[in-house]
A and B are shown apart, each in its own frame.
Chain A
Amino acid sequence: MSTLARLRRWIGKHLVLGLGLLVLVYTFVPIAVVVLMSFNNNSKSKNVYKFQDFTWNNWLHPFKPGGMKDSVILSIEIALLATLVATILGTLAAFALSRHKFVGRRAANLIIFLPMASPEIVMGSSLLALFVSRGFGGQLGFVTILIAHVMFCLSFVIVTVKARLSGLDDNLEQAAMDLYANEVQTFWRVTFPLVLPGIIGAALLSFSLSFDDFIITNLNAGQEVTFPMFVYGANQRGVPMQVNVIGTAMFVIAIAIVLGNEIFRRRQEKALAA
C-alpha cells in the first residue's frame, strides 16, 4: 500500500473526530479567556483588555467594583423567582396541552413556539409599549423585569416538559391504576417521578436564560440594573476583571451540576450491577 493511500485512509478515519475537536475548541476558547482573565491584574492599565499579571485579588474581592454586588444579587433573585413561576406555570400548561383535548389546542401548541422564534428586541419593545400604555411607565423595575422573564422562560419550559410527557408510555399510568393506585397516587407515584427530569431540565434552562438576558431586561428595567446590564455599562469604561470571576463561577457551577448528575447516575448503575 502506498504512503499516499495510507495517508488518505488515516484522514478518512480521523476526519470527523478532528472536525469535532475543532468545533469544541471554537466553543471553549472564549470561556478559556474568561477563566484566564479572572486571574488578571489589570492595575497597570485599566483600558487594555490583556493579561498582565497573575493575581488572586479578583477572586478574593469579587464585589469590589461599585454596584456590581447589587446587580449580581438582583439577577439571581430575578432568575430564581422567574424560574419558580415559569416552571410551575409551564409544567401545568404542558400537562394541559398534551393531556386534554380542547378547541384551539393545535393552535396553542404552535403559538407557544412564537416567543422562542421572535426576536428579543421585538418582544422587549412590545412589552415596554404594553407596560407604558397600561400606565406602568413610571414604575418599571423589579416586577416588570420578573414579568418579562417569566414570559420568555415559559415557552422553553412548556416545550421541554411536553417533550418529556409525550415520551411517557400511557400504559404506565394505566398499569398504576390497574394496581390499585387512584388518580392522585398515580400522578405522584408514577407520572411525576417520570416527568421530573424534564421539569428539572426546564428549570435549569429557565435560570440561565433569565440570568443572562439583556435586551428584554434593558427595555423594561427602569432604574434597576441587572448583572448583564452592569457588564454592558462597565464595558463603556473598561470591564472590571471581577466580571470574569462571576462568569467563571457560573460556568463552574453549571459544569458541577452536570458532572454531579453523571457521577450519581454511574454510581447508581455500579451499585445495581454489583
Chain B
Amino acid sequence: MSQLHESTTTDRSASGSRDLRLSGLTKEYAAFTAVKSLDLVVPQGSFFALLGPSGCGKTTTLRMVAGLETPTSGTIHLGDTEITYAKPYKRPVNTVFQNYALFPHLNISKNVAFGLERRGVKNVGQQVADMLELVELTSQAHKKPAQMSGGQQQRVALARALINQPEVLLLDEPLGALDLKLRRGMQLELKRIQTEVGLTFVHVTHDQEEAMTMADTIAVMNQGVIEQMGAPNDLYENPTTTFVANFLGQSNLIEAEIQGREGGQVKVRVQGAVASIPAERAHSESGKGWLGIRPEKVLIAEAGQPIDAPGDVITGGFITDVSFVGVSTQYMVKMPWGQELMVFEQNTGARRMLPVGTKVDVSWRPEYAFLLDASQDAKAGIEED
C-alpha cells in the first residue's frame, strides 16, 4: 500500500500538482469509528464539498486535515509532502471554524494579521487592509469581534484564514449560523472568492443545496464512509445508493422486480407495469430493486388525460395533499399499492392546480429513472427534522 503511494507521489510531484490526498484515513474513538478508511483526492484549485448528516465523520475528516485531530491510521498528503502528523501550525492549511473562533481580545485587523505575524511577516498593514477590502470590512478594522453581526464575523473569519494564502482552505459549516438570505449571499461570495484566488477549498456542510450551489465536486458521507462522489448534477441525476437519493434532494423509491438487461436498458416490473431504465443508471442487475424517480421528473395528469411522456402510464392514483410553493406545486399522490409518491410540477399556467381527491395518472421519462439495490433501507438519508 505504502509503496503504491510513493509511486503515485513521484508521478504527481513531476507534474507539480498540490492535490490533497487522503489514503486509508481512519479515526477511531473508544466507543465508535468516526471515519473508516477514507480514500479521497481533492484536486488543486477545486471547490470540494463534504456533505453528510451530523455525526457522519465529515468534521472529523476536516479536523484531521487541519491537524487538530490525529488519525488512528492512514495518511494525508499535500502534493508530495506528507502532513499526517504535522502540527497544525506547520501545515499550509487554514480553517474557517463553525463558530468563527475570532479572538475576542483582539480587534478585527489584529485578528486578520494574526497568522502573518506568527510567521514573522513584517509590515502586514497593507495586506490586512487589502484583505479587509476584499471582505468589505475596511470601516470596521478597529472594532472587537463582539461588536459585529454574525455575517460580519463570518467574513472576518474568512479574511483571517485567506490572508495566509494557504494551499488548502477548510470551511467547517461556515454559513450555518447565518439566516437564509445572508447565507445565499455568502455562498455566491465564497464561490467568487474561491474562483478569484484559485485556492483549494474543502467545505464541510450538511446543507445539500449549499453543497450543490458552491462545489465542483461533492462527496456524500454517511457513517464514516463516502457513499458517492462526483459533480453535483451527476450525483443528483444518478445516485448509486438510497442514502444519496434521499439526502441529496428527494426521491420516490418504488419496489421493483428486475427482469433483466435488454440492450442498453434494464427492464423491471413495477406494480404490474413494465418500466425500463438505462443500464448506466441501473445499480442492480437482478432480484429486487428500488426504482427511483425524482419528484420533479414525475409527470401528472387527471385520469384519462394525455401525459407528455413516452413511458408507461401508471393509473389509479389520487391526490392526498397539495402544497403551493410559488414556482411549483407539490402533490402527494396515493398509488393503488398504498405508497404515496411526491410529484413536483412547475406552475407554468398550462393547467389549473389539481385539488385534493382528484384521480390522476402518473408517468415519467424512462431516461430519468434510476435503479438501486433493494437490500438498502428506502428511508436512509431522509432528514428527520
Task: Determine whether the beta carbon of A175 is less than 8 Å from that of B101.
Answer: yes
A181 to B103, CA, bound (A): 13
Task: Determine whether the beta carbon of A272 is less than 8 Å from that of B118.
Answer: no
Which of these, A169, A174, A179, A182, contacts B114 with CB under 8 Å? Answer: A179
Which of these, B97, B99, B119, B142, contacts A180 with CB under 8 Å? Answer: B119
Q: Known interface pairs A171-B101, A172-B103, A190-B103. Does A181 touch B95 (Cβ–Cβ under 8 Å)?
A: no
Task: Determine whether the beta carbon of A175 is less than 8 Å from that of B95.
Answer: yes
Q: Answer yes or no: B87 CB below 8 A from chain A CBs.
A: yes
**A175, A176, A179 — which one has the most chain B CB atoms within 10 A of its CB?**
A179
When distances are taken between beta carbons in the complex, the residues of chain A under 8 Å from B102 are 175
- Number of residues of chain A lying within 8 A (CB) of chain B: 18
When distances are taken between beta carbons in the complex, the residues of chain B under 8 Å from A272 are 107, 142-144, 147
Q: Smallest distance from the beta carbon of B90 to chain A beta carbons, Å?
A: 8
Whose C-beta in chain B lies nearest to the C-beta of A272?
A: B143
Task: Determine whether the beta carbon of A175 is less than 8 Å from that of B118.
Answer: no
Q: How would residues 275 to 299 of chain B score, 1 for a CB under 8 Å from any chain A CB and 0 otherwise?
A: 0000000000000000000000000
A153 to B87, CA, bound (A): 38
A175 to B95, CA, bound (A): 8
Q: How would residues 98 to 142 of chain B score, 1 for a CB under 8 Å from any chain A CB and 0 otherwise?
A: 010111110100000011001100000000000000000000001
Q: Answer yes or no: B88 CB below 8 A from chain A CBs.
A: yes
Task: Determine whether the beta carbon of A194 is less than 8 Å from that of B105.
Answer: yes
Which of these, A171, A172, A174, A181, contacts B118 with CB under 8 Å? Answer: A181
Task: Determine whether the beta carbon of B147 is less than 8 Å from that of A175.
Answer: no
Q: Known interface pairs A178-B68, A178-B94, A181-B114. Does A171 touch B99 (Cβ–Cβ under 8 Å)?
A: yes
Q: Answer yes or no: B194 CB below 8 A from chain A CBs.
A: no
Q: Answer yes or no: A177 CB below 8 A from chain B CBs.
A: yes
Q: Answer yes or no: B89 CB below 8 A from chain A CBs.
A: yes
A111 to B144, CA, bound (A): 39
Task: Determine whether the beta carbon of B89 is less than 8 Å from that of A181.
Answer: yes
A23 to B95, CA, bound (A): 51
Which of these, A169, A171, A178, contacts B89 with CB under 8 Å? Answer: A178
Task: Determine whether the beta carbon of B101 is less than 8 Å from that of A174.
Answer: yes
A182 to B114, CA, bound (A): 12
Q: Answer yes or no: B208 CB below 8 A from chain A CBs.
A: no
Residues in A149-181 with C-beta less than 8 Å from chain B: 169, 171-172, 174-181
Q: Smallest distance from the beta carbon of A208 to chain B beta carbons, Å?
A: 26
A178 to B277, CA, bound (A): 49
Q: Say which size band chain B's interface belongs to.
A: 20 to 34
Task: Determine whether the beta carbon of A169 is less than 8 Å from that of B99.
Answer: yes
A61 to B102, CA, bound (A): 54
Q: Smallest distance from the beta carbon of A261 to chain B beta carbons, Å?
A: 15
Q: How would residues 173 to 203 of chain A score, 1 for a CB under 8 Å from any chain B CB and 0 otherwise?
A: 0111111111001000110011000000000
Task: Determine whether the beta carbon of A177 is less than 8 Å from that of B68.
Answer: yes
Which of these, B67, B103, B142, contacts A175 with CB under 8 Å? Answer: B103
Q: Known interface pairs A177-B89, A181-B114. Does A193 touch B99 (Cβ–Cβ under 8 Å)?
A: no
Task: Determine whether the beta carbon of B142 is less than 8 Å from that of A176.
Answer: no
Q: Known interface pairs A176-B114, A178-B68, A272-B143. Does A193 touch B105 (Cβ–Cβ under 8 Å)?
A: yes
A122 to B95, CA, bound (A): 54
When distances are taken between beta carbons in the complex, the residues of chain A under 8 Å from B87 are 177, 182
Task: Determine whether the beta carbon of A180 is less than 8 Å from that of B118.
Answer: yes
When distances are taken between beta carbons in the complex, the residues of chain B under 8 Å from A182 are 87, 89
Q: Known interface pairs A171-B97, A174-B68, A272-B144. Does A179 touch B164 (Cβ–Cβ under 8 Å)?
A: yes
Q: Smallest distance from the beta carbon of A172 to chain B beta carbons, Å?
A: 5
**A169, A176, A180, A190 — which one has the most chain B CB atoms within 10 A of its CB?**
A180
Q: Answer yes or no: B342 CB below 8 A from chain A CBs.
A: no
Whose C-beta in chain B lies nearest to the C-beta of A175?
A: B101
Task: Determine whether the beta carbon of A179 is less than 8 Å from that of B94.
Answer: yes
When distances are taken between beta carbons in the complex, the residues of chain A under 8 Å from B115 are 179-180
**B67, B68, B119, B164 — which one has the most chain A CB atoms within 10 A of its CB?**
B68
Which of these, A169, A176, A178, A180, contacts B66 with CB under 8 Å? Answer: A178
When distances are taken between beta carbons in the complex, the residues of chain A under 8 Å from B119 are 180
Task: Determine whether the beta carbon of A177 is less than 8 Å from that of B88.
Answer: yes
When distances are taken between beta carbons in the complex, the residues of chain A under 8 Å from B161 are 178-179
Task: Determine whether the beta carbon of B104 is less than 8 Å from that of A194.
Answer: yes
Q: Answer yes or no: B155 CB below 8 A from chain A CBs.
A: no
Task: Determine whether the beta carbon of A185 is less than 8 Å from that of B99.
Answer: no
Q: Answer yes or no: B160 CB below 8 A from chain A CBs.
A: yes
Residues in B142-160 with C-beta less than 8 Å from chain A: 142-144, 147, 160
Known pairs A171-B99, A179-B115 / 14 extra A-B pairs, C-beta < 8 Å: A169-B101, A171-B97, A172-B101, A172-B103, A174-B68, A177-B89, A178-B67, A178-B88, A178-B95, A179-B89, A180-B164, A181-B118, A272-B142, A272-B147
5 nearest CB pairs, A to B:
A179-B115, A171-B101, A175-B101, A180-B118, A177-B88
8 contacts between A and B (CB under 8 A): A174-B68, A174-B101, A175-B97, A177-B67, A178-B89, A179-B161, A180-B115, A194-B104
